[in-house]
Chain A
Amino acid sequence: MEGTFMNRRLLISFRFISLTAALTVLMPIFGCATPVPQASDDRSAPVSIKLVTCINDSGLLDNILPVFTSETGIEVDVISAGTGRALELAKAGDVDVVLVHDPDSEIQFINDGYGLARFYVAQNEWAIVGPKTDPAHVISSSTVADAYRAIMDSGSIFISRADKSAVHLLELNIWADLVVTPSGEWYIQAPTATLGDLVIMADEMQAYTMIDTSTFHSMEDQLNLSILYPQTSPSDDPALLNIYSIISLNPSINPDLKLAEANKLIDWLTGPEGRELITGFQVNGRNLYYVNPDGYTSVTNPLWGN
């Protein structure tokens, strides 16, 4: 490459190349950027809405939402985040709909006026998983509290989610029922980014932890762990229920909210087609989610089972 920028030709061609490169590269990027949103009766452009959720770690939504898009023409951008951040994004108005699994926070969210209503989508269970050798004999426990006590007494390692999420609060409630405060070298507090990371850590350390059945089953073949409590799933223990709900947001918080499209998604997910696809979703030959046929109505009070 002889010469410097002083060679006029080289300078011109350099400028030209870099300008073209910049343009070709920028066009698609800024083409993707959402412009100031049009009213949703503009049918010519593909409409997209933003959904924030923690359920997509298993790949469920990536898998079933294309069907929704092909039927309605509405694209759903799925953003993954834990419950806390998901609700924060919803409050800030950065998303159009939110799908989480923390009923207490969700109710608070609606009572504070950010959400209009919550709708049941699917469920699974929290379970205690641990090493296949089960040194604490959790498998012979009859209640989850017994299982916890067995783990603590045996001094086996237990990994706590430790991030004030629903499962963490569930765990703390169980310890409270036993009137103990867990501490010591066996009790590890590891607020991992995702539940998947949590069970990987448990696998590495051959430790006990609480995990939802969907996450566990989707990764089961890579793990050297088993579900030790409850022995059958779904169990009858209502405390272990992990319910995923989708929440429609309040348009007065966010005037740009695409409420009509979000409602379409909610209807579809909670409707027969959505439910069929959810229950049919498999990873490694296992169905991960269960949809309770009774849990389909909009619920704004905390009592289930209506």
Chain B
Amino acid sequence: MNALEFKNVKKAYNGRLVLDIDSLSVNIGSRVALVGPNGSGKTTLLSIAALITRPDIGDMFIMDQHVNWLNVESFRQIVSIASQEPFFFRGSLFINLNFALSGSGLPRKACLDRIDKSLSLLGLNDLRNESPRTFSSGERRRASVARALLRETPILLLDEPFTHMDHASASTLAKALIDLPHNPTIVFSTHDLGDAYRLADSVLSLQEGKLSPWTPENLYRMRARKIGDGFSLETSGGLSIYYPGELEDDRVYTVSLHTHEVILSREKIDSSARNSFSGQVKRIEKTGEFTVLITIDCLPDLPIRATLTERATRSFNLHVGDTVWAHFKSTAIHVFN
């Protein structure tokens, strides 16, 4: 079941197309990061998913049900959003949180419990009786997240929740979101990939309103296994990469490998890059003025992408279908959470 689905959704402001999504789907229970530079349409996308903004054309489905903008209200109990520039009502943080629960039908005690939990989770206990209008930017975002968590909705949308947050708080928040007992589908935006990996199990890239398959990194989900005095990261297909750092045995991690760190060769070479895989060139696409992205299909669960200059591609005479070797150093591997 798809928690969220967009089909041919477009939105324009002042004649400028800010969002142009042919197709987007988010599996239920997944945690998706929306990455992209400022102005790429992340907030608009989330705003549409949160039923705040209406797309100009297109269809949206929540929990496989078509959102017909007349029956919008019935979806409100399913989706919460924590905005980037959150609006708070007059009164203290407590009053704002209380209001957010006032439509939930929960008894008073349950409301108070949830409010307490949210405040603790976001480290906002001291600010309980202060007016959010006096908060700093970071405090407001945390308050916004605290508010969005209250109703324990199946879909949780967060707009740049980690921005302006220090490392420790961000980690705590990410862990808490992963550990949420009701396992919501989470879609959150960020322009920092490091933040994305704290929480996401898949990443969508947004460029100028369009979904782009291109991320600057290869991303894999791999399981760690202790080997000797190090670890190996293994895919479900049995491939493994050696990782020199400290990991937790048998735990699944998100592993990234920057496309610039992949070196291609026609023959297997012996070099300081100890990870080598052979495969066929599946795609060659121009991604920038001078760069080209080569996708190599080493094995079904390990597609490797490498960024080359256009010149290198030409002089290397690469074509689709060619067999090549991809090499990268263990230090090029980054492991997250």
Contacts and interface: CB of A to CB of B under 8 A. Distances in A.
A and B touch in the complex (CB under 8 A): yes
Interface of A: 2-4, 6-8
B91 interface: yes
B92 A6 contact: no
18 contacts: A2-B91, A2-B92, A3-B90, A3-B91, A3-B92, A4-B89, A4-B90, A4-B91, A4-B99, A6-B91, A6-B95, A6-B96, A6-B99, A6-B102, A7-B91, A7-B95, A8-B98, A8-B102
B97 to A, nearest CB: 10
Main secondary structure of the interface of B (DSSP, over half): loop
Interface string B75-94: 00000000000000111100
Contacts of B102: 6, 8
A30 to B, nearest CB: 36
Given A2-B91, A6-B102, A8-B98, 12 more contacts: A2-B95, A3-B90, A3-B91, A3-B95, A4-B95, A6-B89, A6-B95, A6-B96, A6-B98, A7-B95, A7-B98, A8-B102
A3 B98 CA distance: 11
A3 B89 CA distance: 9
Interface string B96-108: 1011001000000
Nearest to B91: A3
B77 to A, nearest CB: 18
A71 B235 CA distance: 109
Main secondary structure of the interface of A (DSSP, over half): loop
B318 to A, nearest CB: 63
Contacts of A4: 89-91, 95, 99
A198 to B, nearest CB: 57
Nearest to A8: B102
A33 B99 CA distance: 43
Contacts of A2: 91-92, 95
A2 B96 CA distance: 12
Nearest to B108: A8
- What 6 A-B pairs are tightest by C-beta distance, nearest first? A6-B99, A3-B91, A4-B90, A3-B95, A4-B91, A4-B89
Contacts of A6: 89, 91, 95-96, 98-99, 102
A8 B111 CA distance: 13
Contacts of B98: 6-8
Interface string B58-74: 00000000000000000
Contacts of A3: 90-92, 95
B80 to A, nearest CB: 17
B57 to A, nearest CB: 36
B259 to A, nearest CB: 50
Contacts of A7: 91, 95, 98
Nearest to B129: A2
Interface in B98-140: 98-99, 102
B100 to A, nearest CB: 9
A272 to B, nearest CB: 72
A1 to B, nearest CB: 10
Interface string B241-254: 00000000000000
Nearest to B96: A6
A258 B23 CA distance: 81
A2 B89 CA distance: 11
Contacts of B95: 2-4, 6-7
A224 B5 CA distance: 92
A6 B98 CA distance: 8
A2 B90 CA distance: 8
B110 to A, nearest CB: 14
A6 B132 CA distance: 15
Contacts of B89: 4, 6
